[in-house]
Structure 1
Amino acid sequence: MASSHDADTAGITRRKSLAALAGAGALALAGCTQSSDGGDGSDGDDSLSGPINIAGSSTVYPLMSAIMEDFAEQHPQVDPDVSRTGSGGGFSNFFCVGETDFNNASRPIQPAEEELCAENGVEYVELIAATDALTVVVNPEADWVDSLTVEELAQIWEADPAQTWDEVRDEFPNEEIERFGAADTSGTYDYFIENVMGERGHTSDYQATEQDNSIAQGVSGSEFAIGYFGFSYYYQNPDQLKALGIDDGDGPVEPSLETASSGEYSPLSRSLYTYPSIESLGEEQVAAFARYFVEQTTNEDLVAGDVGYVPATEETQEEQLEILEDAIEQAQE
């Protein structure tokens, strides 16, 4: 059941290669699985088989691919396909037209997407995956800036933006601002507009991409560049980039697992989601993976230590499992 987004299929060996995300190319996740006789400590369960197709958010992608890798090692007959299409691109081009089993999203599903799913008979449930600190980054050589106010951030990214840094703050250099950010199919783009830009819109004068590693490369290559993406990509590459503190009125707060968890990193801390199709949950391998995914959302070593997001609380996990089990029961009646 491979689809047109296979070109971006990737299965990164998490414990060895997540730190290489800034330069990673597409890899076949199925090729990373182990044989059923079990060097991974699992029982080599061959009872599950079949495809699991997942598209959507590039922000959720590192977490989803890490959890999928572990699941695929335990179930080597499962054929996973995890890709980065952007939250909106995943909903409109794949999930809501019935081509994928899950859609990852860095913001809640939007009304137009709900309508598209309804038109195509695609029912789903919303599951919270983790908490992210949307991170604004500059080049490490940019020693003239450590933080920005929300207003200054808006000046840089609004529809008619500042062109040089000294237009944002007098003491900044008279150098052209180079912008790297999320494409308009991205949930990160939508979240940024809703929580920073508002009615000021978003400039088209920037390098737009669904590949967060491309943003990282662009910013690391220019002293006067700025970009934004999910915290995981900074967390995995802290020496290549400089994260800015954001001042929402009470002084600058730097992005971190702690400030995202507490809500202190305002307004850029946010929930991350995945949406399984209820019809797809009728397939045993899809239902089993959905359960496994929710079970792993409280795994601090994986979610925080390996990927760089805030794990779900036990209470949230229990709520998500209850929602999921109801959907699985509905699917398998």
Structure 2
Amino acid sequence: MTTFPRSPLTRVLPGLALAAGLCVPAAAQTRGTVEIDGSSTVGPITSAVQREFLNEYPGVDVTVNVSGTGGGFKRFTRGETDISNASRPIKGKEIKNAEANGIDFVEVPVAYDGLSIVVNKQNDWATELTVEDLQKIFLAEHQSDVKSWKDVDASYPDVPISMYIPGTDSGTFDYFKEVVAGKEGQIRSDVSPSEDDNQLVRGIEGNRGGIGFFGSSYYFENQDKLRALNIKNKDGDFVGPTPETIEDGTYNPFSRPLFIYVKADSMDKPAVREFVSFYLDVAPDVAEAVGYVRLPAGVYDNARSRIANRVTGSVMSDNHESIVKAYTAE
């Protein structure tokens, strides 16, 4: 197992305290529980942090469930969890639900992701698509007239299209729908949805005409089984998902930040407080280790400050600025 060092500051401070003759409680003495639910995309990052954390804090019980971003926020805004993994910013209606239940929260960005549009390896005709092409394939308004790849482009073969997509509780679904369908459009009903990204991989892998989408981590993990498409960006270039294109923003409009949301009252619990601090210390390295992209150091520094000062609310809800601009302009 890879071990991710915490920041130099967190390693030095205990030594300074001992030199001053102070008593530093051992991490092993920390007890308590941390309840986490939410995004399957953020899940691998949080689970990797969990494993590392338990090596240092064996007395803490950390539970990581996966019910999708929307499902996680349902529980979080009812006060049932300490932390919610999210592959999109919290929505206005979810903020209202939290307020109605007296739940304050701190928004914490943890990594970049690139929502990857993938096809079967035997698909040797489609290598690049525009957002307009994706609209033809996935939108309900085209369900009756787009049945095969030939209906997308006359140069493509007459191979039936089969669509494998995340379930509607998924933040990945929400993000894709926002980009492709907008506020008014709807995703067609003849798709095969699943909250299990591995099931999506198997579906596309087993169908020559299959197409779907999920987070970059699952694509990077399954490049031997699937092929990612290059997508036309706002500059007119066709770009595929790589760590470099996700970080530099050229893989737009499908580059996105990932988050955890922390219930403010839960920060009174030593176990939660230590877990969140640990998370931010190792997040850059863990994100890269599990296939995502680290954020700029200034964003993590801002997140630490927000946690330390319990700055509640969302910076990114209904905000279409880049995460870097939003989190360094405060």
Contact 1:14 1:66 in 2 (8 A): no
Q: 1:131 to 1:289 in 2, by over 3 A?
A: same
**Equivalent of 1:180 in 139, 164, 177:** 164
- Aligned residue pair count: 286
Q: In 2, Cα distance between the equivalents of 1:189 and 1:106?
A: 10
**Equivalent of 1:315 in 289, 293, 298:** 298
User: Is residue 2:277 matched to residue 1:291?
Assistant: yes
Q: In 1, Cα distance between the equivalents of 2:2 and 2:114?
A: 20
The residue number in structure 2 matching 1:8 is none
User: Is residue 2:83 matched to residue 1:102?
Assistant: yes
Q: In 2, Cα distance between the equivalents of 1:248 and 1:315?
A: 26
Shift of 1:251: 2.7
Shift of 1:14: 7.5
**Equivalent of 1:210 in 170, 190, 195:** 195
The residue number in structure 2 matching 1:138 is 119
**Equivalent of 2:215 in 213, 226, 230:** 230
Q: In 2, Cα distance between the equivalents of 1:186 and 1:309?
A: 18
Q: In 2, Cα distance between the equivalents of 1:278 and 1:251?
A: 43
Contact 1:136 1:228 in 2 (8 A): yes
Q: Identical aligned pairs, as a percentage?
A: 36
SS of equivalent residue, structure 1 residue 200: coil
Q: In 2, Cα distance between the equivalents of 1:72 and 1:204?
A: 43
Q: In 1, Cα distance between the equivalents of 2:31 and 2:195?
A: 30
Q: In 2, Cα distance between the equivalents of 1:135 and 1:126?
A: 25
User: Is residue 2:239 matched to residue 1:253?
Assistant: yes
The residue number in structure 1 matching 2:262 is 276
Contact 1:196 1:267 in 2 (8 A): no
Q: In 2, Cα distance between the equivalents of 1:177 and 1:106?
A: 27
**Equivalent of 1:49 in 31, 51, 63:** 31
The residue number in structure 2 matching 1:265 is 251
Contact 1:84 1:211 in 2 (8 A): no
The residue number in structure 2 matching 1:128 is 109
The residue number in structure 1 matching 2:150 is 166
Which moved further from structure 2: 288-297 or 224-233? 288-297
Which blocks of at least 5 consecutive residues in structure 2 are unaligned? 4-24, 313-330
Q: 1:207 to 1:44 in 2, by over 3 A?
A: farther
**Equivalent of 1:244 in 229, 243, 246:** 229
The residue number in structure 1 matching 2:21 is none
Q: In 2, Cα distance between the equivalents of 1:321 and 1:45?
A: 20
Give CA-to-partner distance per residue, 1:96-148, whole Å, 9 cap, x none.
11111100111110011111111111110100010100001111111111111
Task: Show structure 1 runs of 4+ deviating over 2 A.
Answer: none
Q: In 1, Cα distance between the equivalents of 2:84 and 2:27?
A: 26
Q: In 2, Cα distance between the equivalents of 1:74 and 1:225?
A: 44
Higher relative contact order (CA 8 A, sep 6+): 2
The residue number in structure 1 matching 2:328 is none
The residue number in structure 2 matching 1:30 is none
Q: 1:200 to 1:14 in 2, by over 3 A?
A: farther
Give CA-to-partner distance per residue, 1:231-258, whole Å, 9 cap, x none.
0001112101111111135131011110
Compute the TM-score of the two structures, normalised by the length of structure 1: 0.82
Q: Which of the pair has more CA radius of gyration?
A: 2
Q: In 2, Cα distance between the equivalents of 1:78 and 1:68?
A: 10
The residue number in structure 2 matching 1:195 is 179
Q: In 1, Cα distance between the equivalents of 2:208 and 2:56?
A: 45
**Equivalent of 1:116 in 85, 97, 100:** 97
Contact 1:297 1:312 in 2 (8 A): no
SS of equivalent residue, structure 2 residue 156: coil
Compute the TM-score of the two structures, normalised by the length of structure 2: 0.83
